[in-house]
């Protein structure tokens, strides 16, 4: 989320009112640093306000909620002249925890 290319893409899409859904998968880490040590906001989706676009936070560990939220966004985006950002909190697991 702190890469220049990400911000450039969001700014470009917002400026041209492109129908885009940006999905931010937040596993609680920013490279090797916990997210709470890097960001002063409680939800990454709030960063969308800086671009003047709508945002939502969805439980990333619930596939049904993700599906339903993305389906709602897919119908919402074409009706608007702006893009949308969805944040999907998830859990980072160590390699040894993955079967």
pLDDT at position 90: 62
User: DSSP H helical segments within 22-62, as ranges?
Assistant: 35-38
Contact 85, 22 (CB under 8 A): yes
Per CATH, the homologous superfamily of domain 4-92 is Thiamin diphosphate (ThDP)-binding fold, Pyr/PP domains (3.40.50.970)
Distance CA 30, CA 19 (A): 27
pLDDT of 68 strictly over 90: yes
Domain boundaries of the chain, sorted by first residue:
4-92
Element (H or E) spanning 24, and its range?
strand 21-26
Residue 94, Ramachandran bin (φ over 0: left; ψ between -120 and 50: alpha; else beta): beta
Q: 73 pairs with which residues across the strands?
A: none
What's the pLDDT band for 58 if we cut at 50, 70, 90? confident
Q: Mean pLDDT score of the chain, rounded to an integer?
A: 78
Tell me which residue of 83, 80, 71, 79 sits closest to 15, measured CA to CA.
83
pTM: 0.66
**Whole-number pLDDT of residue 29:** 81
pLDDT beyond 80 at 91 = no
């Amino acid at each position: 989320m702190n890469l220049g290319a990400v911000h450039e893409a969001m700014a470009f899409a917002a400026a041209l009112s492109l129908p885009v859904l940006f999905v931010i998968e937040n596993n609680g880490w920013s490279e090797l640093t916990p997210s709470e040590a890097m960001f002063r906001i409680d939800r990454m989706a709030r960063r969308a306000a800086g671009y003047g676009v709508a945002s939502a936070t969805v439980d990333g560990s619930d596939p049904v909620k993700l599906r339903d939220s993305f389906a709602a966004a897919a119908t919402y985006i074409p009706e608007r002249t702006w893009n949308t950002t969805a944040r999907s909190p998830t859990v980072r697991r160590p390699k040894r925890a993955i079967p």
